[in-house]
Amino acid sequence: MKLLITGGMGVNGAVTARLMVQDGLRPVLMDNRLDLTLMGDIKDQVDIVVGDICDPAALEKAVDDYKVTHIAHLAALMPEPAEADPRLGVKVGVDGTVNVLEVARAKNIKRVVFTSSKAAYGEILGEYAPPACKPVREDYPKRPADLYGSIKVCCEELGRYYRETYGIEFIALRFVSIYGPGKEARHGPLSFYGQLIERARRGEQWAIPQGGDQLNDAVYVGDVGRSVYLAVTAPAPDEWTFNIGTGKASTPREFLNAAAKLFPDHLIELGAGPSKLGRSKQSYCVFDISAAKRNIGYEPAYDVEKGVRDYVATLDRLGR
């Protein structure tokens, strides 16, 4: 197997690549900027292509040069940059995904794994919202509340078309909120759990008036990387779209308590109650992850404490 990871130097790409390297594989990472901050430790055990997924010839060349057999398509713009420049958001998201699918079709690449998001569902309402948090299944209505979610839905549908028309095994993974090293630096305010951990580690003063009890499913990037790896390697599944989370609600308080075990002198004050942070439409929820378990053998390995410990150990190891 030769895996091409688009967006391979990003938060999730670097973790997926590291898991592959640990298993003796040498993935090809394609990204439009050279940034080794999250993968300095494995840079000699991967192949790096600096290239843009909006450039079909660059994609084709990477596939030919490295005899790529599988693609994990992670490259995308995050919600804020996509909304700041909708044409670019759609170009990278939608055109970029068509470019990936077209190269897969032209080069007989059997499987493409696409990283989608809970943003595909949009607002989470009623018994699916906190406090009841009835687990959200993949058939929850898709009514994206922002451009990012609309792009994800569009890409999922394009992938379904290519699967049904050309037989490309297109698998979409919809992630809940993710926390992991690098996310705070790259995605800033989108990364509340990461900020709690990193500001506690830096001993920064931070008073958050409320939100400590906000229930939500937050998955560690180690589980995200594992889910991508499983989706790439699992035998052809019966279903094609999977929610990826922990299947459980956690609270920011639990994250702060886990960080406090490592940094007992931290200076963060976290008020009680639900969160007022985040985007206008509420999307706090818990994912039903049984389809991913059934089809690709996904099982989360990190609870909050283990995730926070690994997060900090990774920052230490990378010298961040």
Ligand X SMILES: NC(=O)c1ccc[n+]([C@@H]2O[C@H](COP(=O)([O-])OP(=O)(O)OC[C@H]3O[C@@H](n4cnc5c(N)ncnc54)[C@H](O)[C@@H]3O)[C@@H](O)[C@H]2O)c1
Question: 33 or 87, CB closer to ligand X?
Answer: 33
296 binds ligand X (CB under 6 A): no
Contact 53, 94 (CB under 8 A): no
- Which residues on neighbouring strands pair with residue 6, listed in sequence order? 30, 73
Q: Tell me the C-alpha distance between 276 and 231, whole Å.
A: 35
- Position closest to ligand X via CB: 10
Residue with tokens 């909006």: 54
How far apart are CB 91 and ligand X at their closest, in Å? 8
Nearer to ligand X, 62 or 208 (CB): 62
Angle between the N-to-C axes of helices 11-22 and 221-233, in degrees from 0 to 180, rounded to the nearest 10 = 60
State which of positions 31-50 bind ligand X (CB under 6 A).
31-33
Q: Does 197 contact ligand X by CB under 6 A?
A: no
Please say whether the beta carbons of 122 and 145 come within 8 A: yes
Among 78, 90, 234, 262, binds ligand X (CB under 6 A): 78
Q: In this complex, which beta carbon is closest to ligand X, that of residue 73 or of residue 266?
A: 73
Could you say whether residue 146 binds ligand X (CB under 6 A)? Answer: no
Rg (alpha carbons) of the chain, rounded to whole number: 19
Q: Which is nearer to ligand X, 12 or 283 (CB)?
A: 12
Q: Check residue 76 for interaction with ligand X (CB under 6 A).
A: yes
Per CB under 6 A, 156 contacts ligand X: no
In the region spanning residues 231 to 250, those forming contacts with ligand X, defined by CB under 6 A, are none
Supply the minimum distance, in Å, between the C-beta of residue 282 and ligand X: 16
Sign, Cα dihedral of 305, 285, 117, 137: positive
Judge residue 64's burial from the number of C-beta atoms within 10 Å of its C-beta, 0-12 exposed, 13-18 middle, 19 or more buried.
exposed
Instruction: Decide whether 251 or 266 has the Cβ nearer to ligand X.
Output: 251
- Which of these ranges, 27-35, 125-133, 250-258, 298-306, lies near ligand X under the rule CB under 6 A? 27-35
First to last CA, the chain: 32
Element (H, E) at 239: none
Tell me: does residue 10 bind ligand X (CB under 6 A).
Answer: yes
- Identity of the residue numbered 284: Y
d(CA 259, CA 208): 16
Structure tokens at 52: 């843009």
Residues pairing with 111 in the sheet: 70, 169
In the shown chain, the binding pattern of residues 103 to 142 toward ligand X, with x for contact by CB under 6 A and - for none, equals ------------x-x-------------------------
Our finding on whether 53 is near ligand X (CB under 6 A) is: yes
Which active-site residues does the annotation give? Answer: 148
Q: Which is nearer to ligand X, 9 or 109 (CB)?
A: 9
Kindly indicate which of the ranges 70-78, 122-130, 197-205, 290-298 contains the residues binding ligand X, using the contact rule CB under 6 A: 70-78
> Does residue 178 interact with ligand X by CB under 6 A?
yes
User: Counting every residue, how long is the chain?
Assistant: 320
Encoded amino acid at 74, one letter = L
Number of chain residues interacting with ligand X (CB under 6 A): 26
CA distance 115 to 127: 26
Q: Which residues bind ligand X (CB under 6 A)?
A: 6-7, 9-13, 31-33, 52-54, 74-76, 78, 92, 96, 115, 117, 175, 177-178, 183, 186
